[in-house]
Amino acid sequence: MKPVFTLASKLPTLKSTMTPALFPAIGFSLLLSACGDSQPDIVDSDMQNDAPMAAETDTNPLLADSTLPYGMPPFDQIRNEHYLPAYERAMAIEREEIDVIASNPAPPTFQNTIVAMERTGRELTRVARIFSNVNGANTNPELQAVQREMAPRLSAHRDSISLDPALFARVDTLYQQRDELALDPESDRLLERYHTSFVRAGAQLSEEQKDRLREINSELASLGTQFTQNVLAEVNASAVIVDTRDELAGLSDAQIQAAANEAAERGEQGKFVITLRNTSGQPPLASLENRALRERIQKASVARGSRGNEYDTTGIVADTLRLRAERAQMLGYETHADFILSEQTAGSKAVVNQMLGGLAPVAVANARVEGEEIKRMIDEIEAEPFELEAWDWAYYAEKVRQARYSFDESEVRPYFELNNVLDNGVFYAAEQVYGLSFERRDDLPTYHPDVQVWEVFDVDGAGLGLMLGDFYARSSKRGGAWMNSYNTQSGLLGGSKVIGNHLNITKPPAGEPTLMTFDEVTTLFHEFGHVLHGLFSDVEYPRFAGTAVPRDFVEFPSQVNEMWATWPDVLENYALHYETGERIPQDLLDRVLEARQFNEGFGTTEYLGASIIDQALHQLTPEQIPSADDIMAFEAQALADAGLNYDPVPPRYRTPYFSHIMGGYSAGYYSYIWSEVLDADAVQWFIENGGMRRENGDQFRNALLSRGGSVEAMDLYQDFAGRLPDIEHMLRRRGLQQQ
């Protein structure tokens, strides 16, 4: 695969700021496959045989088509005990369906083999989507037990299909005859994708190799679950307990009250608890005046999962890396990175390494300049100056920003109230660009009281689907922000769209408004871009529905949607004071927008640190994989080799809690910056064609968003823009000089 744009000599001057959002693999795919084909959120640990088994399958709501609008899951009927028997019955049904296809005495045809496989597994798809989505957003010990039970069993089930020699023989026969079949383009691509998926899943291996591959896949599934559960458990267990209110100076009254409420819920009456997010940096560090407390929070954050901790994940990571590397070589690739990247738009690790290697030195150089400015601020305002540490950066960077741009977050947040940003910003932009409208559906059941539901209507008034908004953080919810699908569309099977949209905003005390940072506003627009990608899906085959595109392409449409957060007409409509309704003062808004590039050296460096760790770990052969004892030393060396060993700016994720690379983003965390090239070019296309015009929205929707994975990703881009993306637009957007 050829690279889609040339990065060569331009990259050494590139500087960037990134706010990556978490976007998990969504849905369920028939096969273990690559390049954007969906997989379940369960990728996961050893079994507990006492998981609940009580529900009868004939009354199990997971095994029947929902009667609610758009196939909305009947959350009010679903109980923890329904999941395991539903999984078991659904796997048995799919196995029976596959056996009929594999044993068909008739010669293989596209209809009796490929289309027939597209029709299989509807029950399992439903169960897996609902379970994995709820387990990620509102887990409990019973669901985690099911997750541990089902992870290796689902792996074995997928292997029983993808390694079935009779089934592959039918697919292979058709693939060899594909030039004679006269298929339409989407059908031809479907055949090619099935064949590629079977081959990449091991269909051409010897029986001995297949046996080993089954063992590897089962172990990886169990390790993935164990990692996920450890990370969630430790992010909750590592919350920092604070004895006195005085120590929280700098936080708002609402933040302090939320900390007091959290402490009360944990049985720590009269104290305060600072909860953690899954990133290395923690939001309270930007406000807390108490340096000793900032240090405690930062050290608790970066120590998660380390060697010897109760929730140590280093051994899990080492075993996972070794098994992935072994599997890659078994399938004919040098490393796991080669295996993954061969199916992405980047095409190879050489291209990815070139991009990351070009960005890293300039990013860290910018971060060091920023660090020097922060140190000058420390020396100026502190009676006893000290060296800049990671727990100081956010606090004093905010003071530098206040001095330079004459505002702080407390001035801005009142203009970004969640419901107003959503209704008059996110939804308003979608109405202007795509003609959509939205209506609250409080009559539909949800899996948690905080979840809200909207019905989405198309420009002609027809119902398009449902969006579930789950915006608040809680201890039962994984970190980050993401979109997922509960129900998808295809011409073959019908169906409607039900999309989940998740953030992790701190919930204010009862009766208080949810006031957002500008970064959170941008993330809300970003995740809604993924929602649009799912809602606009209009494909024939389920395999291609929604966001089933390469991992390094999937972030592109959502990043494009971020542009409406700062589009003047949209900003004017939603940046309103939550109490007075007054628009944000123009001079304050100008300063906010001017400050968007502030601290970009830090943002790029922490992002690239994580991206380079990801690539370094996954570009190893099996014998090169470090042991659990050596994982952190390897991480430190990888950062040093890239010139990113600048202590005040740790990587956005350290290896022991880097959930992206233990899930759908292994060897793929570079995708955000890769997608930014496409994003910047697409934004330029919108500007060149008149900006916020319905005609532009229709072009983006019809040529790209609606087509899912039914066309090669970069062909989709050219169908939309009429050109390949030009990196110059990203360089110009950031005011970068050419060398």
Evaluate if residue 52 carries a pLDDT over 70: no
Domains of the chain as residue ranges with CATH: 57-232 (1.10.1370.40), 238-302 (no CATH)
pLDDT of res. 25: 30
Evaluate if residue 45 carries a pLDDT over 90: no
- For residues 638-642, average pLDDT: 97
pLDDT of res. 734: 52
CA dihedral 552, 553, 554, 559 (to 10 degrees): 100
| Alpha carbon distances (Å) from 77 to 55, 74, 440, 670 | 12, 6, 21, 41
Evaluate if residue 446 carries a pLDDT over 70: yes
pLDDT of res. 8: 37
pLDDT of res. 592: 86
Q: How confident is the model at residue 362 (pLDDT cuts 50, 70, 90)?
A: confident
pLDDT of res. 78: 98
Q: What is the pLDDT of residues 7-30, one digit of tens each?
A: 433 443 333 333 333 222 322 333
- What are the residues whose beta carbons fall under 8 Å from the beta carbon of 125, sequence distance 6 or more? 27, 28, 542
Q: What is the pLDDT of residues 162-175, one digit of tens each?
A: 999 999 999 999 99
Evaluate if residue 36 carries a pLDDT over 50: no
Distance CA 520, CA 21 (A): 10
Q: What is the pLDDT of residues 254-265, one digit of tens each?
A: 899 999 999 999
Average of per-residue pLDDT values in the chain: 90
Helix (H, G, I), strand (E, B) or coil at 454: strand
* Helix residue spans in 342-448 (DSSP H): 349-381, 390-405, 409-412, 418-421, 427-434
Instruction: Tokens 């064609």: give the residue.
Output: 689
Q: What is the pLDDT of residues 670-680, one digit of tens each?
A: 998 888 889 99
Evaluate if residue 585 carries a pLDDT over 60: yes
* Helix residue spans in 103-238 (DSSP H): 116-118, 122-137, 141-162, 165-176, 185-200, 207-237
Annotated catalytic residues are: 527
pLDDT of res. 663: 83
| Nearest CA among 701, 69, 148, 5 for reference residue 444 | 69
Q: How confident is the model at residue 49 (pLDDT cuts 50, 70, 90)?
A: very low
Question: Please, what's the largest Cα pairwise distance for the chain?
Answer: 86
Evaluate if residue 2 carries a pLDDT over 60: no
Structure tokens at 525: 């627009």
What are the two backbone dihedrals, phi and then psi, of residue 582, each rounded to the nearest 5 degrees?
-70, 145
Evaluate if residue 333 carries a pLDDT over 60: yes
* DSSP line for 612-644: HHHHHHHT--GGGPPPGGGHHHHHHHHHHHTT-
| Nearest CA among 520, 545, 543 for reference residue 533 | 545
62 within 8 A of 127, measured Cβ to Cβ: yes
pLDDT of res. 528: 98
Q: How confident is the model at residue 731 (pLDDT cuts 50, 70, 90)?
A: low
Question: What angle do helix axes 671-688 and 551-561 make, rounded to 10 degrees?
Answer: 40
Distance CA 370, CA 356 (A): 21
Share of the chain above pLDDT 70, in %: 91
CA dihedral 227, 233, 235, 236 (to 10 degrees): 170
Residues linked to residue 642 through DSSP beta bridges, in sequence order: none
Q: Is the pTM of this model over 0.85?
A: yes
Evaluate if residue 250 carries a pLDDT over 60: yes
